[in-house]
């Protein structure tokens, strides 16, 4: 399954729009700033399907709540864009650029790939999800990475 993520700057709480291969909106992500950043992902039926929080305590990290599970993504300091994923057996692997990464399962197989693409309508992030059973979690991981890249690593870290 291929999904496309585009930054949504039209609405008041800037977030992301997620669409399918045919250009139909599948999810909307809204963002609220406070002590950290809270992003809520809604389905087309306007149901909350995932809650992502960017937290700053002793270190900067993301939490994901989706499908009745809880995950923590901690940025790896030695890498520009890489995370240790807690609560899952998946592994985050950075690609050749900041906008390119993959997530691997325990067997080392790619379950999701992410890359930045450009077309006449602007910049998009393209996701190729091979593990559709974990679509919401994988999409939430991509949103975390896209926030990190879109808003600038230093902006997120100091926000």
Q: Which residues of the chain have pLDDT under 50?
A: 154-159
State pTM to two decimals: 0.86
CA atoms of 135 and 103, how far apart (whole Å): 12
Residues 18, 10: Cα–Cα separation, whole Å: 14
Contacts of 156 (CB under 8 A, 6+ apart): 37, 54, 60, 147, 148
Q: What are phi and psi of 98, to 5 degrees?
A: -65, -25
For residue 129, what are the β-bridge partners?
112
pLDDT in tens, 87-129: 999 999 887 666 788 999 999 999 999 998 876 667 888 999 9
């Amino acid at each position: 399954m291929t999904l496309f993520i585009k930054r949504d700057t039209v609405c008041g709480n800037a977030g992301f729009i997620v669409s399918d291969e045919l250009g139909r909106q599948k999810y909307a992500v809204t963002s609220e700033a406070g002590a950290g950043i809270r992003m809520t992902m809604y389905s087309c039926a306007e149901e909350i399907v995932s809650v992502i929080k960017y937290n700053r305590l002793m270190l900067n990290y993301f939490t994901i709540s989706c499908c009745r599970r809880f995950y923590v993504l901690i940025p790896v300091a030695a890498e520009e864009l890489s995370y240790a994923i807690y609560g899952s057996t998946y592994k985050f692997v950075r690609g050749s650029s900041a906008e390119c990464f993959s997530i691997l399962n325990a067997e080392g197989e790619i379950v999701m790939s992410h890359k930045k693409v450009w077309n006449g309508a602007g910049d998009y992030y393209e996701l190729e999800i091979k593990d559709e059973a974990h679509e919401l979690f994988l999409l939430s991981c991509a949103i975390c990475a896209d926030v990190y890249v879109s808003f600038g690593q230093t902006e997120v870290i100091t926000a």
